[in-house]
Structure 1
Amino acid sequence: MPIYEFQCQACGHRFDRLQKMADPDPETCPSCGEPRVSRQLSAPQFRLAGGGWYETDFKKDGDKKRNLTEGSSGAPAAAPAPAASPAPAASPAPAAKSSD
């Protein structure tokens, strides 16, 4: 069930409510009792990140995972390649002094 955010237009009290999508919104404010409650638009509390969605993340090791963001040709979506940095030139090691 989703969590909805509400605010009373009379007193400014903000509250959350866990309810089914088909349930009616609350009509009265739990703080002041006024019938001026409205649903607020708020950002979700999660973020989807990563390289894509997989058919399943619970396949056996021998099964091939298929990235669902790949096109029909099976090629992954174009992503910028990381810039290759040249390897630093090796400097000669300092010679050890010999004590006589």
Structure 2
Amino acid sequence: MPIYEYQCNACGHQMEALQKMSDAPLTDCPACEQAELQKLISAAGFRLKGGGWYETDFKTGSKKNLAGGSSSDSKAASSTSTASANA
């Protein structure tokens, strides 16, 4: 479920709410209890970072060697990612 940010137009209170995408937007401010909440637009807090992501992880067939490595390198990367996924 996504986390939405809200700000009250009356008192300036800011908050986050964990809601389903199908839920109606919140309207009542918990701080001043007025119906002045407005949903804010913000960037997603999602980043892929670290040594576990390889270009060849999700490729099939002849597309596996796009980075120019040898076929033994891509097999090692595939077995490493499979072992990590099973752990």
Would you call these one fold, judging by a TM-score over 0.5? yes
Identity %: 41
Aligned length: 64
Deviation at 1:43, TM superposition (A): 1.8
Query: What is the RMSD of the two structures over their aligned residues, measured on CA atoms?
Result: 2.4
Taking structure 1 as reference, are residues 73 and 3 closer, same or farther at Cα in structure 2, changes over 3 Å only?
same
Choose 1 or 2 for highest CA Rg: 1
* Structure 2: runs of 5+ lacking an equivalent: 69-87
TM-score (norm 1): 0.52
CA distance in 1, matches of 2:39, 2:26: 9
Show the 5 A alignment for 1:6-85: 6-49=6-49, 50-52=53-55, 54=57, 67-68=58-59, 73-74=62-63, 75-76=65-66
- Distance verdict in 2 for CA 1:2–1:52, change over 3 Å: farther
**Which amino acid in 1 is paired with 2:66?**
P
For structure 1, which runs of at least 5 residues remain unmatched after alignment?
55-66, 79-100
Dislocated runs of 4+, deviation >2 Å: 48-54
Q: TM-score, normalised by structure 2?
A: 0.59
Greater relative contact order, per chain length (Cα 8 Å cut-off, separation 6+): 2
